[in-house]
């Protein structure tokens, strides 16, 4: 394996497993818990989040470091809001009911911690090429967590997926707020356990 491939591998493992934004770090959980009550709603949120975050990170990587930190953050948010408009229009065109269900949590993604915190703390301290790949993996990691949460909640709340009955029992409370927190906590615990086991197996190998 070349050095480049190993770096990509390390970046992907870090972003998807050990530092997964939703399931490991516990950041950006409000939209996930409130909105992601089904697979399709989670998918709508994923599209908006991925578009807004990644494009903002890429564009804002060209903002000069000489500017004051506060000004930089304001610029990042401004750029994110400009990117949000066409992304929202796109999702509203193809998934109108799911977009309507997102409510206030879709525009709130403009100020998510990946744009306002992680860029300054991590991304913009790296070389651009590697940073772009790492940012992409972070976004993919969050999307995976979000889709898993939405799928699990739909299966538990309705007893199945996409209208198909799969389980003998349905737990409607899971689609509520406190049920969402409980499911997210269980999912995070299971995810961390699996990640730890995989890492241990790799180290042993």
Interface with another protein (CB under 8 A): 168-169, 171-173, 182, 185-186, 189
Closest distance of CB 167 from another protein, Å: 10
Q: Are 153 and 41 in contact (CB under 8 A)?
A: no
CA separation for the pair 31, 44 (Å, rounded): 12
Q: How many CA atoms does the CB half-sphere of 128 hold within 13 Å?
A: 6
Q: Computed from CA positions of residues 34, 40, 44, 47, in that sequence, does the dihedral angle turn out positive or negative?
A: positive
Least separation in angstroms between CB 205 and another protein: 21
Dihedral-angle region of residue 28 (phi above 0 means left; psi in -120 to 50 means alpha; beta otherwise): left
Question: Nearer to another protein by C-beta: 173 or 195?
Answer: 173
Nearer CB in complex with another protein: 103/172: 172
Nearest to another protein of 151, 173 (CB atom): 173
* Cβ-based nearer residue to another protein, 125 or 197: 197
To the nearest whole angstrom, how small is the minimum distance from the Cβ of residue 177 to another protein? 12
Nearer to another protein, 121 or 189 (CB): 189
* Closest approach of another protein to the CB of residue 14, in Å: 26
Measured from the CB of residue 85, what is the shortest distance to another protein in angstroms?
Answer: 39
Output 100 or 194, the one with its CB closest to another protein: 194
Q: To the nearest whole angstrom, how small is the minimum distance from the Cβ of residue 168 to another protein?
A: 6
Do 171 and 185 meet the contact criterion of CB atoms below 8 Å apart?
no
Instruction: For residue 109, give the 3-state DSSP assignment.
Output: helix
Report the distance separating Cα 97 and Cα 64, nearest Å: 40
| C-alpha to C-alpha distance for 175 and 101, rounded to whole angstroms | 13
Q: Which of 138, 115, 141 is nearest to 59 (CA)?
A: 115
């Amino acid at each position: 394996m070349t050095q480049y491939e190993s770096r990509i591998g390390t970046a992907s493992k870090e972003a998807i497993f050990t530092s997964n934004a939703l399931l490991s770090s516990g950041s950006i959980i409000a939209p996930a818990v409130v909105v992601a009550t089904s697979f399709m709603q989670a998918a709508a949120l994923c599209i908006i989040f991925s578009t807004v975050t990644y494009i903002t990170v890429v564009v804002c990587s060209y903002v000069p470091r000489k500017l004051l930190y506060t000004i930089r953050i304001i610029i990042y948010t401004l750029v994110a809001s400009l990117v949000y408009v066409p992304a929202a229009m796109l999702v509203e065109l193809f998934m109108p009911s799911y977009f309507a269900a997102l409510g206030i949590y879709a525009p709130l993604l403009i100020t998510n911690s990946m744009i306002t915190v992680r860029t300054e703390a991590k991304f913009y301290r790296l070389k651009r090429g590697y940073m772009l790949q790492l940012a992409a993996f972070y976004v993919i990691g969050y999307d995976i967590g979000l889709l898993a949460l939405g799928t699990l909640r739909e299966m538990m709340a309705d007893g199945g997926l996409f209208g198909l009955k799969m389980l003998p029992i349905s737990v409607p409370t899971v689609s509520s707020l406190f049920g969402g927190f409980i499911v997210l906590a269980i999912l995070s615990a299971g995810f961390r356990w699996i990640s730890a086991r995989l890492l241990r197996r790799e180290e042993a190998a």
